[in-house]
Amino acid sequence: MSSKVTSESVTLPAVSIPEVDGVADKHELPVVVIDGSANWKRWWADLYLYRGALQSLMRRNVRSRYKQAVLGMTWAVIQPAVQVVVFTVLFGRLAKVPSDGVPYPLFALAGLLPWNLFSKVISEASAALVTNQNLITKLFFPRIYLVLAAGASALLDAVVTLILLGILMAFYGHAPGAMIWLALPVLIGIVVFSYGFGSLLAAVNARWRDVQHTIPFALQVGLFVTPVIYRHSFVPEKWQWILALNPLTGLIELFRGAVLGLPFPESPVLAISLTISALLTVVGVWQFTRMEASIVDVV
């Protein structure tokens, strides 16, 4: 837990206050306590106390992403739209990747939405401490707010893509699945996992900068080893167990099944995805808070 400055009452020995112009200062001096203890109660209290900092950081992140961009927020629509067109041509038309009777643009966009949300949060959150090192060394606030704020634009982009997905479904006349109500909880789960894993990468990246060079390459590869542009069942059966170890496999398949009415992933695949994502989230937050006290010294 990071060292923090709090204004708590403590008993201190009497301190003589020098006289100014022959008159002693009668006002009590404020007591400043440097608390470096690993106190989870204090940590949660700080999250509430400094909540305004999170709001300011999130607004700054969104503004800086589209600052001086001629098209502004339109990029949130252009990027997934271009991806859908490219994947539809390459995989839907040329490679003939099956989409279980659903128009391939819908199939691809329903997979790209959660994947883009995850990849953008990871990309920005993992570098949040390094890019804000000047802020860290000057002010105190919960450092995890830098990680949370880093993904603000990704959340906004996901909302825009969700609207685009709804418009595309209306265009193709494809009604939502009966389990559409599961889509929001699944997206929330992906957000929580993304931030938890991003916290771990941010803390590690503060010490070893090799992480920031590895992540872009890993995400490029990850797009093709995650069932975004194909279903889990499309992979030969002898390799499916490897794909199941990817925590996003079950989550993306579950989201796409809920939205488009496709079959849900098999129970073992979903159980593995949920277990691994939950473990990585808990480990990520725990490791971040554990390293938080020394982040200022190494960043």
Residues 68-77: tens digit of each pLDDT: 665 666 777 8
Beta strand 23-24 with 19-20: parallel, antiparallel or unpaired?
Answer: antiparallel
d(CA 36, CA 30): 19
How confident is residue 279, by pLDDT bands cut at 50, 70 and 90? very high
DSSP string, 148-187: HHHTHHHHHHHHHHHHHHHHHHHHHT-PPPTTGGGHHHHH
What amino acid is encoded at 127 in this protein?
A
**What is the model's pLDDT at position 297?**
58
Check residues 78 and 190 and name the one with the higher pLDDT: 190
pLDDT digits (tens, 9 = 90+) for 169-182: 999 999 888 889 99
In this model, does residue 17 exceed pLDDT 80? no
The rounded mean pLDDT for the chain is 81
pLDDT digits (tens, 9 = 90+) for 102-155: 999 999 999 999 999 999 999 988 888 888 777 777 777 788 888 888 888 888
d(CA 264, CA 256): 8
104-126 and 183-207 helices cross at what angle (nearest 10)? 30
Query: Percent of the chain scored above 90 by pLDDT?
Result: 30
How confident is residue 298, by pLDDT bands cut at 50, 70 and 90? low
Q: What is the mean pLDDT of residues 207-213?
A: 78
How confident is residue 186, by pLDDT bands cut at 50, 70 and 90? very high
Which of 85-89, 175-179, 180-184, 273-277 has the lowest average pLDDT? 175-179
